[in-house]
């Protein structure tokens, strides 16, 4: 089994004071756990959190939640790979909130993944089927067939022209949109369902990069993960860790998620 990786995506939450306390408490409580941890604060808190993590245990790292693909220039409001790599090692790309609210498509996400790899950043690439459309409203889980085809097209589009060597440096997160805690009418996915879909993802990665590479790539699950259900996901052999959103905003809850994932009671 690959060592579990636990990512906290703070999204557009926390004040500077909250971010400082959260990062400090997490840093002080995960050194003894056999998990790797990545915390992803909003851009403006990357620098203060990087300072907090300066002398942190080796198993905690910093990540950004997004990135533009060019190094510098006239891109008002954007943040470049060069800026991020001065502070962080990881970057979340293709999150469903970026895909839906900011109209990011797989081709743009593909450009960002290439840029991250060229800058030695580890891309955490999010893929996941959208909610089913019901009477014009997006709500609930689609059929498995629709989910699989959505997922495979996101994967193939986002990972275009990535070499086998580089494939090893990517982390994939499977996040079905209908299971994200803030999605209207969200439902919880079961561990068995997540494992089944992650197996599909791994098969697609094997088509793209060959079986040995596909077996080395870490694939996480994300969507309403908390300390109560985390074991249902991380103890599935197919699943290498989790990405938590809402539950990563409480130090106590996030540390508990890490403990549970490390197998402690
Ligand atoms: P959630 O968010 O854990 O609050 O469902 C996960 C995500 O969207 O990254």
- Concatenate the DSSP letters of all residues of 201-261 into one string: HHHHHHHHH-HHHHHHSEEEEESS--TTTHHHHHTSTT--EEEESGGGGSHHHHHHHHHHH
Give the Cα separation of 265 and 259 in Å (integer). 7
pTM for the full predicted model: 0.95
Find, among 91, 36, 125, the residue nearest to 83 by Cα: 91
Write down the pLDDT at residue 265: 43
Find, among 201, 40, 199, the residue nearest to 127 by Cα: 201
Give the Cα separation of 234 and 7 in Å (integer). 13
Find, among 65, 69, 70, 71, the residue nearest to 42 by Cα: 65
Give the Cα separation of 41 and 50 in Å (integer). 10
Q: Check pocket membership of 194 for ligand 1, CB cut-off 6 A.
A: no
Give the Cα separation of 40 and 67 in Å (integer). 12
Q: Which atom of ligand 1 is nearest to the CA of 223?
A: 5
Residue of minimum CA distance from atom 7 in ligand 1: 245
- On the question of pLDDT at 200 being above 50, the answer is yes
Q: Check pocket membership of 181 for ligand 1, CB cut-off 6 A.
A: yes
Q: Which atom of ligand 1 is nearest to the CA of 246?
A: 4
In the chain, the percentage of residues whose pLDDT exceeds 90 is 85
Q: Check pocket membership of 180 for ligand 1, CB cut-off 6 A.
A: yes
Q: Check pocket membership of 224 for ligand 1, CB cut-off 6 A.
A: yes
Using 50, 70 and 90 to split pLDDT, how confident is the model at 1?
A: low
Q: Which of 61, 95, 238, 260 is catalytic?
A: 95
Q: Check pocket membership of 6 for ligand 1, CB cut-off 6 A.
A: no
Residue of minimum CA distance from atom 1 in ligand 1: 245
Residue of minimum CA distance from atom 3 in ligand 1: 245
Question: Residues 124, 63: contact at Cβ < 8 Å?
Answer: yes
Write down the pLDDT at residue 205: 97
Mean pLDDT of the chain: 94
- On the question of pLDDT at 206 being above 80, the answer is yes
Question: Each residue of 86-128: pLDDT tens digit?
Answer: 999 999 999 999 999 999 999 999 999 999 999 999 999 999 9
Most distant CA atoms of the chain, gap in Å: 53
Question: Each residue of 139-160: pLDDT tens digit?
Answer: 778 888 888 889 999 999 999 9
Find, among 155, 224, 146, the residue nearest to 190 by Cα: 224
Write down the pLDDT at residue 65: 98
Q: Which of 97, 104, 175, 260 is catalytic?
A: 175
Write down the pLDDT at residue 155: 97
| Long-range pairs, 201-204, Cβ under 8 A, ≥24 | 201/127, 201/151, 201/155, 201/172, 201/174, 202/238, 204/151, 204/152, 204/155, 204/156
Q: Check pocket membership of 244 for ligand 1, CB cut-off 6 A.
A: yes
Residue of minimum CA distance from atom 6 in ligand 1: 245
- On the question of pLDDT at 209 being above 80, the answer is yes
Q: Which atom of ligand 1 is nearest to the CA of 97?
A: 8
Mutation to probe ligand 1, out of 5, 7, 9, 241 (largest number of atoms < 8 A from CB): 9
Give the Cα separation of 62 and 8 in Å (integer). 10
Indicate the SS3 state at residue 179: helix
Write down the pLDDT at residue 157: 97
Assess whether 161 carries a catalytic annotation: no
Rounded to 10°, the helix 144-158/191-209 angle is 40
Assess whether 264 carries a catalytic annotation: no
- On the question of pLDDT at 264 being above 60, the answer is no
- On the question of pLDDT at 50 being above 70, the answer is yes
- 33-53: average pLDDT: 98
């Amino acid at each position: 089994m690959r060592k579990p990786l636990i990512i906290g995506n703070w999204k557009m939450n926390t004040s500077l004071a909250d971010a400082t306390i959260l990062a400090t408490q997490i840093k002080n409580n995960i050194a003894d756990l056999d998990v790797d941890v990545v915390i992803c604060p909003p851009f403006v808190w990357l620098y203060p959190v990087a300072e907090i993590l300066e002398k942190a245990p080796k198993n905690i790292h910093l990540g950004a939640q997004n990135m533009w693909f060019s190094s510098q220039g006239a891109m008002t409001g954007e943040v470049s790979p060069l800026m991020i790599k001065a502070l962080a090692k990881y970057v979340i790309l293709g999150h469903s909130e970026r895909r839906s609210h900011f109209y990011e498509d797989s081709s743009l996400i593909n450009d960002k993944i290439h840029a991250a790899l060229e800058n030695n950043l580890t891309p955490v690439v999010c893929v996941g089927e959208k909610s089913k459309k019901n009477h014009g409203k997006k709500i609930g889980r689609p059929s498995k067939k629709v989910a699989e085809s959505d997922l495979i097209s996101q994967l193939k589009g986002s990972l275009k022209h990535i070499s086998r060597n580089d494939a090893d440096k990517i982390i994939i997160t499977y996040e079905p949109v209908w299971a994200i805690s803030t999605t209207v009418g969200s439902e919880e996915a079961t561990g068995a369902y997540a494992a089944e879909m992650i197996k599909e993802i791994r098969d697609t990665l094997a088509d793209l990069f060959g079986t040995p590479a596909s077996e080395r790539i870490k694939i996480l699950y994300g969507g309403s993960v908390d300390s109560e259900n985390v074991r249902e996901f991380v103890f599935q052999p197919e699943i290498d860790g989790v990405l938590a959103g809402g539950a990563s905003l409480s130090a106590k809850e996030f540390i508990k998620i890490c403990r549970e994932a490390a197998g402690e009671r």
